[in-house]
Chain A
Amino acid sequence: MCSNSTTGSNIYLPHLATVEEIIDETPDVRTLRLVFQDEQLRNSFSFRAGQFAEYSAFGAGESTFCIASSPTRTGYIECCFRSVGRVTEALRRLEVGDSMGVRGPYGNSFPIEQFFGKNLVFVAGGIALPPLRTLIWNCLDLREKFADITIVYGARSEADLVYKRELQEWQQRSDVRLVKTVDPGGNGPEWDGKVGFVPTILEETAPAAENTIALVCGPPIMIKFTLPVLEKLGFTDEQVYTTLENRMKCGLGKCGRCNVGNVYVCKDGPVFTAAQVKAMPAEF
């Protein structure tokens, strides 16, 4: 295995992890299940839903993604990414058994304890399901702590839906309501979900705002049209949570690029309430 000479003081030094499993979610979106090579770390690594990590393909560099698996599932972590650049292309070239780097967990997290006893409505679009999927499983694994759970998830087409096996599982469970949708024209002959944009479908299917927390992740255009729908449904900005994504390098509050105004997404985020987001300058 890899015995490394480390002083423990280098905050930029990644942990080594082995790719244990590769799952293709869509033609260009891939999940990697990773196991830390250091046995002690494998057993002790813990994080909270919403936190992110810096994943490295050596020779290509590091990329920032959320930890997409649930903190309740221990022994491994998962990341999920679309291949769009140098690092993600290199991560895509990794095979089962290959080594990669992981630094983290970084950033804040969803205040899950504050959601106990409440209804939850998850609203996600496309590739933005992973940052909520960590919390969805976290909540499902502590199911009795929450009231009704609704998941509204949409993508451009059936092919663009990620975590298809889990969508099926959620659909079959009686203790969670899944509403899946694809944009008009994105449905094939077998499609058993809704057809329409996420904000529209949310308006038709959302639970009452009272005692409910909404967790929203999606492309900026989806967020833009979803927030007014939630407001119309009676959600206050404190009842709505989202995560912000910005280009990052260090993840540690040093390198200076992920700020939105004086808010550093890597340290103050990535999880924010809609109230916090609305207080930020429009620079994201």
Chain B
Amino acid sequence: MQKYLSQQNFTTLLDKLITEGKRVVAPRLNSGTVLYEPLQSAAETVTDQLPRRSGKEAFFPLCEDIMSYRKEGQQVLLNDIDPARFPETVLVGVRPCDAAAVPVLDAVFSWDYKDEFFLERRRKTTIVGLACTTADDACFCTAVGLAPDNPKGADLFLTPLEGGGYACETYSEKGEQLIQAHRQLFDEPRNSTALPLAQPQTETVDLKKVKAWLDEHFEDPAWDSIATRCVGCGACAFVCPVCHCFDIVDEGTEKSGKRRKNWDACGFWKFTHHASGHNPRDQQPKRYRNRIMHKFKYYDDKFGQILCTGCGRCIRLCPVGIDIASIVEEISKK
């Protein structure tokens, strides 16, 4: 289904969704930083900047309760978290690199055991993607097979038009339902020209070649030079739209408290540290190797997809200037 949505109706749509009681999550300015956050009003939305962190936390929060416990004498009472309580959500203004991450994450959270914390939020969320008209030096979506107008993962995709407003195209039933429920705000498609798309500078990387090298080079002197600078701060994993490693911790006392699922990062030394003191990844290059291997080999081996959408956030934020796009490009040329 193709429609036109004026800029004003875009704002009206968001306010209507908020009034209907939906959780509307969109890029929003928070103390100088743009983040995907729940809106109080449509006016808060900032659509011209890539949010600092990815959209994954709409489905996979940085920290979430998975149960609570309370001890009474020798007995313990557990309180389950019912995913049915998760609110209906519309995730708006999602960049293609963030929208594309969601079906990638579906694979790990739905194979074998089902993680309903992710999956129920996923079912209850409609993703409204937005094409990019600006890119910075770190953007490299085109290098990993995506594009500033790639609708992967979006239920409804918006392309900004010359003279204002958006061309809308639906990619799922959820997208169509969103339009049907608010059809008075959507007009018939116009013949306007789309605004020029962003042009990420990185050239396309041959991911098959990257995979082929990784398949054969678990041990290679290159890993030391690639990763020797890494300080293990974990920032790259926290801002990544597809990094999904987590920890499970109890927060509270022996009497009462909560069990939580918190984001974790393979760059942390403690991530694989055994109680005995042994650590299979005892040096930072080994941990960084795991990061690259997981993204471009292991996840592909298991699920046929790579764990990178080229958003460039890890490049922008790395305190020691590690550039994953250049690393992968170099590997593809080995």
| Interfacial residues, chain A to chain B (CB-CB below 8 A) | 1-2, 4-7, 9-14, 16, 18, 56-63, 84-85, 88, 90, 95, 97-101, 220, 245-247, 249-250, 252-262, 267, 281-284
Is B264 an interface position by the 8 A CB rule? yes
- A155 shortest CB reach to chain B, Å: 15
Is B121 an interface position by the 8 A CB rule? no
The chain A residue with its CB closest to the CB of B244 is A256
Known: A16-B78, A260-B280, A261-B293. Contact between A10 and B116, CB under 8 A? Answer: yes
Q: B275–A257 contact, CB under 8 A?
A: no
The chain A residue with its CB closest to the CB of B249 is A61
Q: B78–A4 contact, CB under 8 A?
A: yes
Q: Which residues of B contact A267 (CB under 8 A)?
A: 112
Q: B79–A284 contact, CB under 8 A?
A: no
Q: Which 4 A-B pairs have the closest CB atoms?
A: A256-B245, A59-B254, A99-B76, A281-B218
Q: Which residues of A contact B252 (CB under 8 A)?
A: 59
Q: A255–B266 contact, CB under 8 A?
A: no
Give per-residue flags for B294-318: 1 if the beta carbon is below 8 A from chain A beta carbons, else 0: 1001100110000000000000000
Q: B254–A58 contact, CB under 8 A?
A: yes
23 contacts between A and B (CB under 8 A): A2-B76, A4-B79, A5-B79, A7-B82, A10-B116, A12-B67, A57-B254, A58-B71, A61-B248, A61-B259, A247-B275, A252-B115, A253-B111, A253-B113, A254-B108, A254-B115, A255-B246, A256-B245, A259-B290, A260-B280, A262-B302, A283-B280, A283-B281
Q: Which residues of B contact A5 (CB under 8 A)?
A: 79-80, 82
Q: A252–B250 contact, CB under 8 A?
A: no
Is B333 an interface position by the 8 A CB rule? no
Q: B278–A220 contact, CB under 8 A?
A: yes
* A259-B302 Cα distance, complex, nearest whole Å: 12
Is B28 an interface position by the 8 A CB rule? no
* A75-B80 Cα distance, complex, nearest whole Å: 25
* A250-B75 Cα distance, complex, nearest whole Å: 24
Q: Which residues of B contact A254 (CB under 8 A)?
A: 108-109, 113, 115, 244, 246
Q: Which residues of B contact A261 (CB under 8 A)?
A: 218, 293, 298
Known: A58-B76, A99-B74. Contact between A10 and B250, CB under 8 A? Answer: no
Q: A259–B78 contact, CB under 8 A?
A: no
Count how many chain B residues have C-beta atoms less than 8 Å from C-beta atoms of the other chain.
Answer: 59
Q: Which residues of B contact A260 (CB under 8 A)?
A: 280
Q: B257–A252 contact, CB under 8 A?
A: no
Q: Which residues of B contact A95 (CB under 8 A)?
A: 74
Q: B114–A11 contact, CB under 8 A?
A: yes
Sample of 17 more A-B contacts, CB < 8 Å, known A4-B79, A255-B245, A255-B247: A2-B75, A4-B78, A6-B78, A7-B80, A7-B84, A13-B66, A58-B69, A63-B275, A101-B78, A254-B108, A255-B246, A256-B244, A257-B266, A259-B290, A259-B298, A262-B301, A284-B280
Q: A257–B297 contact, CB under 8 A?
A: no
Is B286 an interface position by the 8 A CB rule? yes
* A61-B298 Cα distance, complex, nearest whole Å: 28
* A262-B302 Cα distance, complex, nearest whole Å: 8
The chain A residue with its CB closest to the CB of B254 is A59
Is B30 an interface position by the 8 A CB rule? no
The chain B residue with its CB closest to the CB of A103 is B248
* A99-B69 Cα distance, complex, nearest whole Å: 11
Known: A12-B261, A97-B74, A256-B244. Contact between A58 and B250, CB under 8 A? Answer: yes
- A109 shortest CB reach to chain B, Å: 16
Within 76-96 of B, Cβ neighbours of A (below 8 Å) are at 76-84
Kindly identify which residue among B78, B266, B290, B301 contacts A13, using a CB–CB cutoff of 8 Å. Answer: B78
The chain B residue with its CB closest to the CB of A83 is B275
Is B253 an interface position by the 8 A CB rule? yes
* A57-B69 Cα distance, complex, nearest whole Å: 11
